């Protein structure tokens, strides 16, 4: 019997990771939550999307790592019109600060998935 | 006046990221917290350590991303005796499942830091 896991089940490397780390402002919790869920739904339908993992603690620090087959796939996601609007709202009201890093995953191992 | 940030201030890429995603068991909250703090302290003193970011939500999903100057630096950290003991405890009691990915950061941008 396999147990569902919130961790992404990704293919054998190499593939790409987009590491998005942020500190939330206290502003607009409802709007942020709705948009955040919608972005996961939207990304999941994009060509080259491999998975996503996300966590945010009580200190407002959050990390979302999405996994992609190629830089072209990441570019397509970054430039998606609805995502661009969400990015703008993020910069204007949701995030006190953020960093975005694009990285080539070379090695993966672990337990508990598939 | 600059504001302190919990986000890592890393040098210009390329450098390496270790993306550790996990689901915590309910076991041994105190022991886990003490060890987790100690691991950050220990890693921070390692040669080639560049920074760390961490978040865990109420759903027990956590992500810690540590940044390193080289694969050799990551190897040194992985094989540190005290860290190896913590890894063993992690596998045995703290984590229901985990994934570890080693990735080469090629691009970084953002706001709000330094």
ipTM of the complex as predicted? 0.93
Query: What pLDDT does residue A89 have?
Result: 95
The pLDDT assigned to A84 comes to 95
User: pTM of this prediction?
Assistant: 0.93
Check residue A2 and give its pLDDT: 45
pLDDT in tens, chain A (114 residues): 444 568 999 999 999 999 999 999 999 899 999 999 999 999 999 999 999 999 999 999 999 999 999 999 999 999 999 999 999 999 999 999 999 999 999 999 998 544
pLDDT in tens, B57-95: 999 999 999 999 999 999 999 999 999 999 999 999 999
A40, A63, A114, best to mutate vs chain B, most B CBs in 10 Å: A63
The confidence score (pLDDT) of residue B112 equals 58
Burial A9-32 (b: 16+ CB within 10 A, else e): ebeebebbbbbbbbbbbeeeeeeb
Kindly report, residue by residue over B21-50, the tens digit of the pLDDT.
Answer: 999 999 989 999 999 999 999 999 999 999
Cα angle B29-B35-B40, degrees, rounded to a multiple of 5: 125
CA distance A9 to A4: 10
What tokens does B93 get? 């009691």
B87 touches chain A (CB under 8 A): no
Residues 6+ apart with CB under 8 A from A26: A60
Q: Cα separation of A90 and A64, whole Å?
A: 14
A36 reaches B (C-beta below 8 A):
no
Whole-number pLDDT of residue A111: 84
Query: Which element (helix H / strand E) includes A34?
Result: helix A29-44
Q: How far apart are CA A19 and CA B23, in angstroms?
A: 18
Q: Chain A partners of B101 at a C-beta cutoff of 8 Å? A: 13, 17, 105, 107-108
> Residue B114 pLDDT > 70, yes or no?
no
Q: Give A72's contacts (C-beta < 8 A, 6+ positions apart).
A: A48
């Amino acid at each position: 019997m396999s147990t569902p896991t919130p961790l992404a089940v990704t293919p054998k490397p190499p593939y790409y990771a987009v590491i998005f780390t942020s500190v939330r402002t206290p502003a607009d919790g409802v709007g942020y939550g709705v948009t955040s869920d919608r972005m996961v739904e939207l990304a999941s339908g994009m060509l080259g999307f491999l998975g996503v993992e996300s966590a945010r603690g009580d200190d407002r620090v959050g990390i979302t790592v999405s996994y992609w087959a190629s830089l072209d796939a990441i570019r397509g996601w970054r430039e998606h019109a609805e995502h661009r609007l969400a990015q703008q709202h993020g910069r204007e009201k949701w995030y006190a600060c953020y960093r975005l890093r694009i990285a080539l995953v070379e090695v993966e191992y672990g337990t508990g998935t598939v």
